[in-house]
Chain A
Amino acid sequence: MPKKITIEPVTRIEGHGKVTIKIDDNGKVRESRLHIVEFRGFERFVQGRPYWEAPVLVQRLCGICPVSHHLAAAKALDVIVGAGTGDGLTAVGEKMRRLMHYGQFFQSHVLHFFHLSSPDFLFGIDADPAIRNVIGVIKHHKDLAVQGVMMRKYGQEIIMHTAGKKIHGTGAIPGGINKNLSIAERDLLLNGTDPLNADKMVEWSVAALEFFKVYHKSNATLVDTFAEFPSNHLSMVRKDGALDIYHGVLRAVDADGKRILNDVDYQDYDKYIEEEVRNWSYMKFPYLKHLGKEKGWYRVGPLARLNVCDFIPTPLAQKEFEEFKAYTTGKPNNMSLHYHWARLIETLHSAEAIRDLLKDSDLQNDDLVIKGEKTNKGVGVIEAPRGTLFHHYEINDNDQITLANLIVSTTNNNEPMNQAVNHTAKSFMNGQMEITEGMMNAVEVAIRAYDPCLSCATHALGQMPLEMKLVNANNEVIDSKTK
């Protein structure tokens, strides 16, 4: 009898998602979907509020990487207050924001790798779930767990000294920032007591990358073939093609590396990107307009960024980038589990960038804000840890927001995550009428590789238990499991 399997909610991700897998009479997977089942509506209730509230209000979408929303909104408002389109701020304004962003990039990537994903690598995808979790990591790999906790703490400290608070700060304001970095703060972050200093973070980032590479070497088949499928890749890059997570132009390549979006100004993002609504998910499906719904979807995030950029502007990460590119002979990398590899290269880049920025005396300047002629529309784009993030605001003559459109990183990855679920379901579940916990986790591993933040994507708050349902062709539940 045909069946429908539901995994709900998906665990060890940020937010609440559900997977359904339809199986036909012969046990073949026919269709899989990742449903996002929550809705909040920030775009609506920010309307009518004064525009300068947006960076502080909209970041409440998320507690994991609120800095991304904070900065994307502030960048959009820079345009509105006439402070240029992302590169018009004073040196201290831009560099403090960059430091804040690298700090959160670092902590968010570390959180994902150590807390959410490392249990899969350390214990195996089908290991006992009682061990395969962050508590298991603490128990059996104490040194690694301590590194994860301390690295995350360091990133959070950077955020606190730039935004005012570790979570939901107020540092970025339209046209600049509200504080610089004092010498005492700089010294604390640069040369703090071991291990909380910049050199140690670089050292530990190298070690984390090494850990993954060793795992990759002994599990090459799994890592290279798990949810591997061709796709387009989109990211912001610096104008010279360097990896830049704070500002640049939009670029996309197809699965063979051909440019399909050639360094365009993101102020015109709505000329190039369209969002499709499907009736079974609250998360929209973005695609490149000129390629259409079928062929225009793309990946974002660490893998896409390394596929799109030409180089990384810090030496240690650049060396790793070269090795990463050589693995696919310079072509785009389409292997889902290589997101982890790319993410760790970016973690190293962040640590190096933090160290470089902390040595920059511009951070102690006092010209915090710059403003020019006001306009009524602004778009801010940032590379959030999970991928390209768009914020678009329009205001009226009374300074109130009249329109807000957010395309969140995880939303950009909606179709790729659905593809990854489909590929994994077919590989692990075809011909299997009994669904094991290991199979369920395999599907989650595929989703987890994208580090989705479903709370951000639907602008909703989530919980993370796991429930699985078997449903027949008539949509009747014939079995269910919860863990």
Chain B
Amino acid sequence: MNNTIKFKIDGKEIITENGKTVVEAAHQNGVYIPTLCNFPGSFSKGSCRMCTIKVNNRFMTSCTTPAAPGMEVESNTPEINEFRKSIIELLFVSGNHFCPSCEKSGNCELQALAYRYQMMVPRYPYSFPLKKVDASNPKIIKDQNRCVICQRCMKTIKTEKGEHYFAYLKRGNVLEVVMDKELGKEMTDELAKLAMENCPVGSIIYKEVGFVEPIGTRKYDKQPIGSDIDV
């Protein structure tokens, strides 16, 4: 049975296999669609809405939409880009993101997206929420000021038995992603470093090694986010 699917994004023909999401297919074919909560290899929930596209004049999240034959997808349009930019701005104003002193600067996906979408000043008022820093774990710091509730740590950082190190606490606008303090004590160095790497912002920090990468050599110093995918 032929497993190949063909559809279009912004008029460009995309060829992929059955079972791929639109964002996976796009990236396979050299078309960048921005993502934040989506993490390759883990189940997507479409919670951050960064990967919003338009299909048949309806807004959808490309990380949860399966690619289907003959689809006509709009992605890189002024309307959608403005929408994505507004999401970035909302994330900035709903937390306390001070890039100048954040060690994730240059490696931060949120910051890189803000540059890509040319965010100057958020159109929304800053909320300056009072957030806590949990530094009680010997290996990592969980800084709630910078957390964007993407769930990437919840989905990818687990024990060998599959127990989650990170989980939700509280609900609604005070929802937080916190670390299991007991389980956290056993976390290996390797996993702690991976947790920092998988966090798209500077909310999970591996202790005592901040700023070791010189300016100019950090991930997004070299090339803007998405330029490794864009053809």
Binding site for B on A (CB under 8 A): 48-50, 52-53, 55-57, 60, 81, 163-165, 168-171, 173-174, 178-179, 369, 398-400
**B205 contact set on A, CB distance < 8 A:** 50
Question: Within the complex, which residue of A52, A165, A169, A179 is in contact with B210, where a contact is CB–CB below 8 Å?
Answer: A52
Q: Give how many A-B residue pairs fall within 8 Å (CB-CB).
A: 57
30 contacts across the A-B interface (CB closer than 8 A): A49-B101, A49-B133, A50-B135, A50-B141, A50-B205, A50-B207, A50-B210, A52-B103, A52-B210, A52-B211, A53-B103, A53-B210, A56-B101, A56-B211, A81-B208, A164-B214, A164-B215, A165-B215, A170-B211, A170-B214, A170-B215, A173-B211, A178-B211, A178-B213, A179-B214, A398-B135, A398-B136, A399-B135, A399-B207, A400-B135
The size class of the interface chain B forms with chain A is: 10 to 19
**B141 contact set on A, CB distance < 8 A:** 50, 399
Q: Shortest Cβ distance from A428 into chain B, in angstroms?
A: 42
**A49 contact set on B, CB distance < 8 A:** 101, 133
Binding site for A on B (CB under 8 A): 100-101, 103, 133, 135-136, 141, 205, 207-216
A49 to B136, CA, bound (A): 13
Contact B133 A173 (CB under 8 A): no
A171 to B101, CA, bound (A): 13
Question: Within the complex, which residue of B101, B212, B214 is in contact with A60, where a contact is CB–CB below 8 Å?
Answer: B101
Contact B214 A178 (CB under 8 A): yes
**A179 contact set on B, CB distance < 8 A:** 214
Contact B215 A169 (CB under 8 A): yes
B98 nearest CB neighbor, chain A only: A57
**B103 contact set on A, CB distance < 8 A:** 52-53, 56
A142 to B213, CA, bound (A): 41
Contact B100 A400 (CB under 8 A): no
A172 nearest CB neighbor, chain B only: B211
Known contacts A56-B100, A179-B214; 7 additional CB pairs below 8 A are A50-B210, A52-B210, A81-B208, A164-B214, A173-B210, A400-B133, A400-B135
A155 to B105, CA, bound (A): 25
A398 to B141, CA, bound (A): 9
A165 to B215, CA, bound (A): 7
**B212 contact set on A, CB distance < 8 A:** 173, 178, 369
B137 nearest CB neighbor, chain A only: A398
A164 to B211, CA, bound (A): 11
Contact A164 B216 (CB under 8 A): yes
Q: Shortest Cβ distance from B11 into chain A, in angstroms?
A: 41
Contact A171 B135 (CB under 8 A): no
Question: Within the complex, which residue of A57, A399, A400 is in contact with B101, where a contact is CB–CB below 8 Å?
Answer: A57
**B211 contact set on A, CB distance < 8 A:** 52, 55-56, 170, 173, 178
Q: Shortest Cβ distance from B109 into chain A, in angstroms?
A: 19
Q: Shortest Cβ distance from B214 into chain A, in angstroms?
A: 4
A46 nearest CB neighbor, chain B only: B101
A356 to B214, CA, bound (A): 24
Q: Give the one of B136, B208, B209, B211 with max A CB within 10 A.
A: B211
**A81 contact set on B, CB distance < 8 A:** 208
A232 to B214, CA, bound (A): 41
**A57 contact set on B, CB distance < 8 A:** 100-101
A178 nearest CB neighbor, chain B only: B214
**B216 contact set on A, CB distance < 8 A:** 164
A200 to B183, CA, bound (A): 61
B136 nearest CB neighbor, chain A only: A398
**A165 contact set on B, CB distance < 8 A:** 215
Contact A168 B208 (CB under 8 A): no
Contact A52 B100 (CB under 8 A): no
A48 to B96, CA, bound (A): 14
A367 to B157, CA, bound (A): 33
Q: Shortest Cβ distance from A396 into chain B, in angstroms?
A: 8
A171 to B210, CA, bound (A): 11
Q: Shortest Cβ distance from B74 into chain A, in angstroms?
A: 39
**A53 contact set on B, CB distance < 8 A:** 101, 103, 210
For the complex of A and B, the 10 pairs showing the least CB-CB separation, nearest first, are A164-B215, A57-B101, A398-B135, A179-B214, A52-B210, A170-B211, A178-B214, A164-B214, A56-B101, A400-B135
Q: Shortest Cβ distance from B1 into chain A, in angstroms?
A: 55
A179 nearest CB neighbor, chain B only: B214
A168 nearest CB neighbor, chain B only: B100
B135 nearest CB neighbor, chain A only: A398
A100 to B135, CA, bound (A): 32
**A164 contact set on B, CB distance < 8 A:** 214-216
A399 to B142, CA, bound (A): 13
Contact A48 B133 (CB under 8 A): yes
A106 to B14, CA, bound (A): 57
A174 to B205, CA, bound (A): 16
